[in-house]
Structure 1
């Protein structure tokens, strides 16, 4: 079967969507309403977590966005989008891949939930403020790195840029996080958004109807 990605527009599933466009793959995209576990309950039969992404290609089933990017690069290579173990930047590449979700996207989701998505009676301003500061502090590592490099690893565009780039993209669509972005990070994100693969991914998610 062709690779199939269950996705919500602008959610973490944008990472593997973008990766597949960069790889030039033929794939199926299934656009779900957000949050899918509440608005498309049949999805729980496919992914009991009720989260996106959910990816399958007939050989495997995966739910972690950065891991899916790495898998796609390994399975559909050789490609410069992944860094191989024999390259000096391999450790740095892996670190940024894990950092992207565990350290950057995690606090973003708490700000999104407790300052934007929850009903006003359930919002938690202190939680949102604390995790906004968390995100801003962790983002300094990205900013410092980008002061000396165009890309996150190996002096070229890789899956690590997709992984980190998505977190920066997300902060531009969550109003409480917009001011966390430094000029260096904004310039980097502009480079990423200029890529044809990014543009195709944005077009695909926009044009694919929500089920």
Structure 2
């Protein structure tokens, strides 16, 4: 199994999941954007996005989908909520929501604050999509009102997928506008040993 990763990009979801599961894998840490700065990457992933997970004949490129795949392929694991468990629907919903609802508006903020040259940056779009993202965090804030994790009464792949969105918000400076439960959730999960191992591995890969 091989994971193509850029530091602190959405591929961190997949790397963290691999570390939580203890699955042996090869990690390739690439400069960003890999489509332009990592020779041959477009032949692996024609979209040029990260992550890419290669597992034998299987290639996956969606970060939350990779979390789901890894949980299914390594079942039974407490990181997975199985069909038939009470919170299975919530679990699937959080996995999809993590990227489609939470990370998507952040990509607009990232693009128009950091990736575009100064003359093409759009402060109004940045603020509009920041508000969009922060308003959707109400679902996280509500879910954590009476529990430590999002669903199932335990830490799962849903937490990995959603927590990354909060972590990305921190790198974009949006965390200063988080409400208390979201802020606490962000900090608590950053203390997990597997999260810290994932970030240590990416740092070592950047130095290699």
- Alpha-carbon deviations, 1:15-41, whole Å to 9, x = none? 010000000111000001011112224
Instruction: Note the aligned Cα RMSD (angstroms).
Output: 1.2
Q: Is residue 83–residue 89 contact of structure 1 (8 Å, CA) maintained in 2? A: yes
Q: Which residue of 2 aligns with 1:159?
A: 157
Q: Are the aligned partners of 2:34 and 2:41 in contact in 1 as well (CA < 8 Å)?
A: yes
Asked if 1:200 corresponds to 2:197, the answer is yes
TM-score (norm 2): 0.97
Q: 1:116 to 1:209 in 2, by over 3 A?
A: closer
Aligned-partner Cα distance in 1 for 2:37–2:179? 35
Aligned residue among 13, 20, 23 for 2:21: 23
Count of matched residue pairs:
208
Q: Which residue of 1 aligns with 2:53?
A: 55
- The more displaced of 166-175 and 154-163 is 166-175
4+ long deviations beyond 2 Å: none
Q: Structure 2, unaligned stretches of length 5 or more? A: none
Does the CA-based 8 Å contact 2:3-2:51 persist in structure 1? yes
Distance 2:146 2:114 in 1: 35
Q: TM-score, normalised on structure 1?
A: 0.95
Q: Deviations over 1:130-185 (max 9, x none)?
A: 1011001101111111112110110100000000010011111112x232322211
Partner Cα separation in structure 1 for residue 32 and residue 69 of structure 2:
25
1:72 and 2:63 correspond: no
Q: Residue 94 of structure 1 aligns with which residue? A: 92
Candidates 2, 9, 14, aligned match of 1:4: 2
Q: Secondary structure at the match of 2:32?
A: coil
| Cα distance in 2 between the residues matched to 1:41 and 1:123 | 28
Q: What is the alpha-carbon distance in structure 2 between the residues aligned to residue 197 and residue 46 of structure 1?
A: 27
